[in-house]
């Protein structure tokens, strides 16, 4: 059974288990399967979502 796009991630997150770990794995699998994220500006999104302290830590690593 093939599950595509957002429904793939939604199905994984609906499981009643360690969803943060499974979500991280799912994101990696989806990125490889769909050959990246396209025109996604990840740095801009992280700047909008992270506070200044976390953003600073992220940029150092």
Q: In the 8-state DSSP scheme, what is residue 55?
A: H
**pLDDT tens profile 1-58:** 455 666 766 777 677 778 788 778 878 888 888 787 777 777 888 888 888 898 888 8
pTM of the model: 0.42
**pLDDT at position 2:** 55
**pLDDT at position 52:** 87
- Structural domain boundaries enclosing 44: 1-59
Q: Are 48 and 40 in contact (CB under 8 A)?
A: no
Count the domains in the chain: 1
**pLDDT at position 44:** 84
DSSP string, 5-46: HHHHHHHHHTSSS-HHHHHHHHHHHHHHHTTS-TT--HHHHH
**pLDDT at position 18:** 80
How far apart are the C-alpha atoms of 37 and 35, rounded to whole Å?
Answer: 7
**pLDDT at position 5:** 62
């Amino acid at each position: 059974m093939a599950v595509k796009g957002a429904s793939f991630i939604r199905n994984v997150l609906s499981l009643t288990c360690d969803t943060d770990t499974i979500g991280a794995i799912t994101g990696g699998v989806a990125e490889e399967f769909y050959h990246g994220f396209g025109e996604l500006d990840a740095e801009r999104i992280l700047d909008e979502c992270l506070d200044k302290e976390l953003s600073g830590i992220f940029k150092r690593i």
